[in-house]
Amino acid sequence: MSLLLEGKKAFITGGSRGLGRALCEVFAREGADVAFNYHSNEEAARETVALIEKYGRKALAFKVSVTDKPAIKDMVAEIIGTFGKIDILVNNAAINKADSFVTTTEKAWLNVVDTNVNGLYYITKPFFKHMLRQRSGNILNITSIGAIRALPTSVHYATAKAATLGFTKCLSREAGLFGVTVNGIAAGIFDTDLGHSLPDKFKEMYEKWCTKGRLGKPEELAEFAAFMVSDRNTYMTGEIITLDGGTVV
């Protein structure tokens, strides 16, 4: 059987760690050349590059914030110039800060919304326009079960991730006219830096709620994501798939 992503060119936000790194590695293993951005950790980015190249695939890494619109424009031009095209975009990068609404500062609110919502716009727009011109492409947005269920998560994070739901569904309508697919994954809590930034009490409660009885492994989401953005997934668009180990709240 051929690889899921043979010959594909992918861009993944936040690829230096956590879910992003797992996505980079699994996509490379499945045959894709992979570009990614990262915020600051150059050593971690080099490790991700090595994981991609281990499978004989091309890797491109960019120290570019998802909120830096001018730098994003240059980055996208360089990626397309090097790869020749982009078939897959995964919007994975996000930030969170454990907080209650009553103590959330305006600065914290704006920081989370800027990264998780405005960053989604800044990254997607240039890649989306490229995909429309080539009449093909696949966009996958990583959101959260915190956007769907009344979990004890931060209000600013849940609000931003809820915006991702509407973004995914409405964009899929426009995209479908040009052969572009847009879907999302509502992720539970995974064994990542972001997951471990949550209070220990919340993580312990989650493991009790979760049918699997544990946090998710990053590669478990990446394996499913690879299918979602592959040519074998031909009749799904505008959907948000929950991947949370079977939480029962």
Per-residue pLDDT of the chain (249 residues; tens, 9 = 90+): 689 999 999 999 999 999 999 999 999 999 999 999 999 999 999 999 999 999 999 999 999 999 999 999 999 999 999 999 999 999 999 998 878 889 999 999 999 999 999 999 999 999 999 999 999 999 999 999 989 987 777 899 999 999 999 999 999 999 999 999 999 999 998 988 777 767 787 778 888 888 998 989 999 999 999 999 999 999 999 999 999 999 766
Main-chain phi, psi angles of 238, to 5 degrees: 75, 20
Strand 137-144 to 88-91 pairing: parallel
Two structure tokens written together for 138: 């696949």
pLDDT of residue 99: 83
**Residue of 38, 122, 157, 206 with catalytic role:** 157
Residue extents of the structural domains in the chain: 9-243
38 is catalytic: no
Q: If you search the block for the tokens 């890797």, which residue do you land on?
A: 59
Model pTM above 0.85: yes
Q: What homologous superfamily does CATH list for 9-243?
A: NAD(P)-binding Rossmann-like Domain (3.40.50.720)
Alpha helix (H) residue ranges in 84-214: 106-113, 119-134, 155-176, 193-196, 200-209
Residues 172-212 pLDDT 10s: 999 999 999 999 999 998 988 777 767 787 778 888 888 99
Quote the CA–CA distance of 89 and 123 in Å, as a whole number. 9
Two structure tokens written together for 91: 């919007």
Distances (CA, A) of 217 to 53, 191, 210: 22, 6, 14
Quote the CA–CA distance of 227 and 244 in Å, as a whole number. 17
Quote the CA–CA distance of 214 and 236 in Å, as a whole number. 29
